[in-house]
A and B are shown apart, each in its own frame.
Chain A
Amino acid sequence: MRQAFLAIVLHDLALAWRRRGSVAASLLFFVIACSLFPLAVGPEPQQLRALAPGILWVAALLASMLSLSRLFVQEHADGSLEQLLLSPHPLALIALAKTCAHWLTSGLPLLLLTPLLAQQYSLPAAPALLLSLSLLIGTPVLSLIGAVGAALTLGVRGGAVLLCILVLPLCTPVLIFGAGAGAAADAGLSVVPQLSLLGACLALALFLCPLATAASLRISLE
């Protein structure tokens, strides 16, 4: 079972490498979206610094939405999803593996870029790293919740927009705690409460979302 999990993760990473253009596109979107705000809001350092955690988190959320729409689409079109459903492994495990690979190719690069992008907002190094830490705990939740939406909207016309409408409201707690952690870090307060809440979200999502994704995939393929 662990072998199947690993096989899917490695397979999806290999596929992401072959399709690296689309991975790069959502990263580029994140970089551009984050860079637009300092240009639009003005060069006032205090103001930018106060806005930084919120903007970086919203941009990360939107960038992960962009990549979510391609999570199962290709597999659905070429029939490999049927083959996965017919493999003797639990579908929830397969869904978790695919979500994991999705996070490695979409969430992880975002949080590595964040300290760099925080420089545009004159955010000092320590709060910027704590902001990355909040993304480290928070972005897997976005991938997990997003996978449920991606599975539900498979084969639906206009699925990408529907996906955003479905998933974005569910992601608001993560956004609030994540941006809250960034703001608290910048104010020199303890970030433990926000990070604990994010951790609780992650634990809940890790348990529930693969099951919901599996059920949604079965419905979508009927």
Chain B
Amino acid sequence: MHRPHPGPAVDSAAATLSARGLAFSRGGRPVFEGIDFELWPGQMLQLLGANGSGKTTLLRVLGGLLPPDEGELCWFDEPLRPADPDFLQSVAYVGHANGIDADLTGAENLRFAARMGGVDGSPERIGAALRSVRLDPSSTTPVRALSQGQRRRVALARLALLQRSLWLLDEPLSSLDADAGDLFLAQLSTHLHSGGMAVVATHEPLAGAAQTLRLQG
């Protein structure tokens, strides 16, 4: 009953994530409509648009946090059901909020994420994920005492740890310094080269995006 997960180097004849005529309105006002795309393994779709143009809302619809008003979202050519565990097992989402508990340390946050995501949360793997974003795994400082950029890094370390095939990222570069930004872009390109996919909402175009959707507010 489990559909294959498009892990690294899995070829698939069908577009992995596709949308047809996706529309969403809030309070009678359309946020976006007529969104069509097909995303294949190894591709990145970037969502461009001004503030308030609906990038975040579209990402939330893609992740299943919001049901679309119209249109269809398909995963491996099958219509996506709400809270489909197979789909959720393949998605990693980093939103506006980092999704980490401020009272825990970075390592504790990642350990919990690993247990919830059903992946190996051994200290070695967590240490490696934190080191990949240049954070100290042995730090006992709760996230509360870290800077915005460092919190963002913890959230991005979660991406490295969970190894999901589809990344949904909302302004991933926000509050990162130049070094951390480059580090993240390298992480993203490794992910794409190993057959992963990404949908990235951003206000400045990213290199390496196979497709671009411009949203008008």
Contacts and interface: CB of A to CB of B under 8 A. Distances in A.
A221 B93 CA distance: 15
A18 B105 CA distance: 11
A119 interface: no
Contacts of A86: 63-65, 88, 91, 93
B117 A79 contact: no
Report which residue of A19, A79, A90 has the largest number of chain B beta carbons within 10 angstroms of its beta carbon: A79
A88 B3 CA distance: 14
Contacts of A3: 115, 118
Interface stretch (B41-49, B94-102, B178-186): B94-102
B96 A85 contact: no
A78 B63 contact: no
Contact of B103 (A18, A77, A79): A18
A83 interface: yes
A87 B88 contact: yes
B161 to A, nearest CB: 13
Sorting the interface of chain B by its residue count into under 10, 10 to 19, 20 to 34 or 35 or more gives 20 to 34
Interface in B96-139: 96-104, 108, 112-113, 115-118
A11 B112 contact: yes
A82 to B, nearest CB: 6
Contact of A78 (B83, B91, B102, B142): B102
Contacts of A87: 88, 116-117
A203 interface: no
Contacts, number: 72
Contacts of A8: 116
A7 interface: yes
A14 interface: yes
B89 interface: yes
B96 A79 contact: yes
Interface string A67-103: 0000000110111101111111111000000000000
Interface in B67-90: 83, 85-86, 88-89
Interface residues of A, number: 27
B50 interface: no
B116 A82 contact: no
B15 interface: no
A168 interface: no
Given A86-B93, A87-B88, A88-B88, A79 B104 contact: no
Nearest to B118: A88
Contacts of A84: 116
A162 B97 CA distance: 26
A3 B112 CA distance: 11
A176 B83 CA distance: 39
A15 interface: yes
B88 A19 contact: no
A222 interface: yes
Interface in A1-28: 3-4, 7-8, 11, 14-15, 18-19
Contact of A222 (B66, B95, B96, B102): B66
B116 to A, nearest CB: 5
B115 A79 contact: no
Contacts of B113: 83
A4 B115 contact: yes
Contacts of B65: 82, 85-86, 221-222
10 cross-chain pairs, A with B, having the tightest CB-CB distances, nearest first: A79-B97, A79-B99, A7-B115, A18-B103, A83-B99, A88-B88, A88-B85, A88-B89, A87-B116, A11-B112
18 contacts: A3-B115, A4-B115, A7-B116, A8-B116, A14-B108, A15-B101, A18-B103, A74-B101, A78-B99, A78-B100, A79-B96, A82-B93, A82-B95, A83-B99, A87-B88, A87-B117, A88-B117, A88-B118
